[in-house]
Amino acid sequence: MPLIPPETDLRARFRAAFTPGRFPRLGVAVSGGSDSMALLHLLAEARRAPEGPGAEALQVVTVDHGLRPEAAGEARVVAEAAAALGLPHATLRWQGAEGPGWDGQGNLSDAARRARYGLMADWARNAGLQAVALGHTADDQAETLLMRLARGAGIDGLSAMAPERVSGGMLWLRPMLGLTRAALRADLQARGVVWAEDPSNQDARYTRVRFRRALADLARLGLTAEGLAAVAAQLQSARAALDVQMLALAERAVRRDHGDLLIDPEPLAAAPAEIRRRLVEACLRWITRADYGPRAPALAGFIAALMAGEAATLHGCRLVNAKGGLRLCREAGKMPGRLPQGQTWDRRWQIAGPLVPGAEIGALGAEGLAQLPDWRRLGRPRAALLADPALWAGDDLLAAPTAGFGAKWRLELVSEAQDFPQALLSH
């Protein structure tokens, strides 16, 4: 039986991990399970403390993903709990596998997770919130570390979940990574609060459930959730130190040009191999806005090509040896289709300016270049221009801001990518 800290100790540890007054306007994601219900009550209590901003600045959100029939009832239970605490609550609904929210491709659970975060980020921005708190615990952290260890992850993967992370234009907080599920449930029981049990948490078909069961066995050998979570925290500190070195190298070796990156291989060659690897991976992810980097062998081959000054493609990016040095840009053949004007395209671009009915944002492509006969004067290689964003009205090119065409419109990067090179850490 894991050691359950006294109720007062748990609450003191929570307050030590989360400063109540740091975010005057805060959201909290609550599914109805024990972890998030505990977070809801701990946050409400902490924000009512003398040093807190008051619970009235706390808003609650639940996402009904539509994948389980019980989800709607669980959302109602959360709404009732929020009302009892005097807090506003919103239920967001995803169409799920039966609606337009999923295209039927890939992993449904992953699609639901992405949709959940996207819905919550939109809700939080519209509500003027500064951050959203999530209910991940030391148990979740330990399970994540073990799963990544099984995949042979490096220091980034073994750092597991970060206490704070920016994604989708929102800051996500995990203030309970040092608290165990058992302790949180004991706290809920002391408060007389009930929670929902998701049957999938007992389904051994899921990898995380199998590792959860393995963790229970490891605890008998002294390898506890608290201990593994502490290891992840130490690795996060080491990762942060490496990131400082990576940013220093980026200042010397990388320069942004529109949505491309110009890379000087000389400073890279003098840097330690791990710092060089981290920087190249971060550059690839900055350009594609990808959640994850490429696999290690492919990345090593790409870095070798870069250091040799050779052209290469990887992870939706293309490395070209052009005038001005090595240029890392989007790979034209990997670009998404067009989207209505006003939407974010390729996860990072928006075109601001007059709205044109029916206009769409998409890749400039060969069709766009054909309407820009003097594009060569720009000094950028054709490979990079092909992947640049443009505004279209059918087959007619309205604007290509990176090519100086269409003075009424301007190109904007999403906020997470603007502050370069610090934006290399924003994933």
Q: Quick one: three-class SS letters along 357-391?
A: CCCEEEECHHHHHHCCCCHHHHCCCHHHHHCCEEE
C-alpha dist (Å) from residue 87 to 19, 78, 82, 218, 353: 19, 11, 5, 40, 39
Cis peptide before 357 (omega within 30 of 0): no
pLDDT one-digit tens code per residue, 338-361: 999 999 999 999 999 999 999 999
Query: Which secondary-structure segment (H or E) carries 89?
Result: strand 89-93
pTM for the full model? 0.82
Q: Which of 338, 327, 326, 330 is nearest to 367 (CA)?
A: 338
Domains of the chain plus CATH, in order, are 7-232 (3.40.50.620), 253-331 (3.30.465), 335-417 (no CATH)
pLDDT tops 60 at residue 375: yes
Q: How confident is the model at residue 5 (pLDDT cuts 50, 70, 90)?
A: very low
pLDDT for 15 equals 85
Q: What is the DSSP letter of 203?
A: -
Judged against a pLDDT cut of 80, whether residue 105 lies above it is answered with no
Model pLDDT, residue 101? 46
Cβ(425)–Cβ(390) under 8 Å? Answer: no
CB neighbourhood size of 152 (10 A): 8
pLDDT band at 48 (very low <50, low <70, confident <90, very high): confident
Return the pLDDT at 427: 47
Coil vs helix vs strand at 360: strand
Percent of the chain at pLDDT exceeding 70: 92
Q: How confident is the model at residue 113 (pLDDT cuts 50, 70, 90)?
A: confident
Chain centroid to Cα 425, Å, comes to 11
Q: If you average pLDDT over every residue of the chain, what do you get? A: 89
Predicted local distance difference test score (pLDDT) of residue 366:
96
Where does 323-364 show beta strands of DSSP type E?
A: 325-330, 339-340, 349-352, 360-363
The pLDDT, as a whole number, for residue 100 is 43
Three-class SS of residue 67? Answer: coil
Rounded to an integer, what is the distance from CA 302 to the centroid of its chain?
Answer: 24
pLDDT band at 198, cuts 50/70/90? confident
Distance CA 108, CA 92 (A): 18
